[in-house]
Structure 1
Amino acid sequence: MEINKAYDQDSVSLPSHSLIETTSTVDNSVIDNMSSDEHQQKIHSLSYVSLLKSYSSLPSQHPIRFIGLSAQVFFYYLGYGYLQELLFTLDGFKHTSWFLSCYQFFIYSVLSFIQIGFIGLNQRRASYRSYLILALLTVATMGLSNHSIGYLNYPTQVMFKCCKLIPVLIGGIIIQKKTFNRYDVAAAFCMSIGLVFFTLADSKVRPNFNSYGVIVICSALIADAIIGNYQEKIMKMHHVSNVEIVFYSFMFGFLIILIGLLLTNNFFSSMVFWNKHPISTYGYSLLFSIFGYLGIDIVLTLIKEYGALICVAVTTCRKAITIILSFILFSKPFVFDYVWSGLIVVIGIYLNVYSRNQTAFNTKIVSYINSLSNFRWWPKFSTSTTSRILPV
């Protein structure tokens, strides 16, 4: 019993001393591990921040800068198009298309408000009346575009949106008294022909083709033509920044759509439908809106740094991939008429780009021909400038 007592005392007393040492050792090791982990996290975060700073500080001539911006355009807008078409695959969603526009305008307003806070803009330049008119046009453009998805094949809707030059040309003549050259007229003609045959191909393979969707998307394009000319007029008169135009046009547009939904008793019925499928509606629509807003910002950056010629080349490739992925990811009937009619539209797009940037376009063509002539396999021609007199 005494041995047991002694053992018990030892077993109680000795650990009491060793426990302190062990605990302190464990605590120190834990602290060291935590400090090392925090140190590594700080190193990773600092390296990530330095990587972003180094990328943002790259000159526009650097190929990584161009590749990064182009990759962002593809990522954001391919995600935007995929989510937009995915939303309308939900049965009954097309009846809530205006609620989607209301939700999208709200997200755009919040994101632009945050961006204004970062930039530090605190003074409005244009009048509320100008922004109210701009908001009405924005509602007609984006709201009708979203509404048309429920009645049109998605590739057809994309092709129509590619051809907004046609109403822009007409709107420029009427609103700003602009004159256009023969390349613009030829571009509008090619786009019109391509659209007609693309729509005929769509009606051929879709037995439930609805001409109402064509009327809706044409109305959206007309509003888009007016809004482009009106935005240009406001920016020239008041020197307004892009983010200010985005904020006020989408904030007022959100209020306009909200009032319209309440007056037509579609607000609460749409909300009931969305509440039944919260992930497929609120979740996908949130990502859809974020992708759309970030895509706008990247496109404006691409135009600012590389010009409209390069930007149109990138966005045209993106639209072509969007159409291809739409046929692959969402089962649709396909005919070869889609290909050649789409190529006619693409020719019209590049004719329009050429008419605006003839000098830059000609310079690039000449440099490309000169680079080809430097290859060894390319036949060498005599470029002598000495005049030759033919015998009489």
Structure 2
Amino acid sequence: MLSAWIVCVFNGEPRDQAPFRKYGFVSVLLVISTFLSNQSIRYISYPTQVLAKSCKPIPVIFMGLILFKRKYPPLKYVVVFLISLGISLFMLVGSSNKKNILNEGSNHVFGNFILFVSLMMDGIMGPFQDNLVKVYKPSATRMMLNTNIWNLFLFTTIAIARGELIPAIQFIIEQPEIILLILAFCITSALGQQFIFLTTNKFGSLNCSTITTTRKFFSILVSIICFGHSLNNLQWSSIGMVFSGLALDLYMSYSKPKTKTK
């Protein structure tokens, strides 16, 4: 929130015309999605959660079609399918212990249900942000600022209600060396959010969710290359799917007919 406010002041950005309460709706969806995603780990395995989150662009398309009548090019569906399937297969096969994927908790049905609800919240939030940009045309930094004002209020309220705020402060006082780690996390997170909101504002929530999902794949791929891990044929095939989807997306971007300007 602080970094977004500094950028707004430095750039002299105009006041946001979007109603402040609409950012509250976005923030509520974000809080619910984050909370349910974290809670699902209590009931299902981590690989299962990662696989489900790899398909995040799918509910964004689905909810955009239903709620806001968004229309996407036919090839966009192919891109999302290739990338989601490729990442899912790559992570599924890449698990060091395949039994972990089936090693669910005591109530995996409930865990999958709340994970499904979390994905639906993501699916609603993306198209809603797209509609917000289309109607009110806020800057990316204003979107970030107003959303994080609500996030600060909601997460602080939840932390107080769950009795987590005072213990957290006490822990920081007892372990002051963690302050630098928290500061580093905050700075990198704030910088990352600047680009996430910029991507959402300029290129839409579907492209943003595709990018944020694909970066996880690249992080794992770089790690495998750096540490010399071997890949099997199915993993190489999944890598081919992801890169095929990305190449097709780039082709679509550069093959669009350019409109003439006066």
TM-score of the alignment, normalized to the shorter chain, above 0.5: yes
Matched, 1:293 2:185: no
Give the TM-score normalised by structure 2: 0.69
Distance 1:173 1:205 in 2: 38
Distance 2:201 2:142 in 1: 17
Give the counterpart of 1:347 among 222, 238, 244.
Answer: 244
1:196 offset after TM fit, Å?
4.2
Show the counterpart of 2:128: 230
RMSD of equivalent CA atoms: 4.4
1:233 offset after TM fit, Å?
0.9
Compared CA separation, residues 148 and 246, structure 1 to 2 (3 A): farther
Compared CA separation, residues 352 and 162, structure 1 to 2 (3 A): farther
Give the counterpart of 1:323 among 220, 241, 244.
Answer: 220
Distance 2:28 2:118 in 1: 12
State the one-letter code of the partner of 2:46: L
1:230 offset after TM fit, Å?
1.0
Show the counterpart of 1:379: none
1:112 offset after TM fit, Å?
1.1
Show the counterpart of 1:358: 255
Give the counterpart of 2:141 among 236, 243, 248.
Answer: 243
Unaligned regions of 5+ residues in structure 1, if any? 1-108, 362-392
Secondary structure of the structure 1 residue equivalent to 2:177: helix
Deviation digits for residues 61-81 of structure 1, max 9, x if unmatched? xxxxxxxxxxxxxxxxxxxxx
1:116 offset after TM fit, Å?
1.9
How many residues of Structure 1 are paired with residues of Structure 2 in the alignment?
A: 246
Compared CA separation, residues 301 and 131, structure 1 to 2 (3 A): closer
State the one-letter code of the partner of 2:90: F
Contact 1:165/1:188 (8 A) holds in 2: yes
State the one-letter code of the partner of 2:245: G
Show the counterpart of 2:69: 177
Give the TM-score normalised by structure 1: 0.50
Show the counterpart of 2:58: 166
Give the counterpart of 2:151 among 248, 253, 259.
Answer: 253
1:193 offset after TM fit, Å?
3.0
Distance 1:259 1:139 in 2: 11
- Within-5 A mapping of 1:68-107: none
State the one-letter code of the partner of 1:236: K
Q: Which range moved further: 318-327 or 240-249?
A: 318-327
Contact 1:181/1:355 (8 A) holds in 2: no
Percent identical among aligned pairs is 24
Secondary structure of the structure 2 residue equivalent to 1:288: helix
Secondary structure of the structure 2 residue equivalent to 1:205: coil
State the one-letter code of the partner of 2:188: F
Distance 2:239 2:78 in 1: 16
Show the counterpart of 2:162: 264
Secondary structure of the structure 2 residue equivalent to 1:359: coil
Deviation digits for residues 128-165 of structure 1, max 9, x if unmatched? 22111011123245556677799636xx84x7656432
State the one-letter code of the partner of 2:184: L
Distance 1:347 1:244 in 2: 35
Q: Whose RCO is larger (CA < 8 A, sep 6+)?
A: 2
Contact 1:168/1:228 (8 A) holds in 2: yes
Please say which structure displays the higher CA radius of gyration: 1
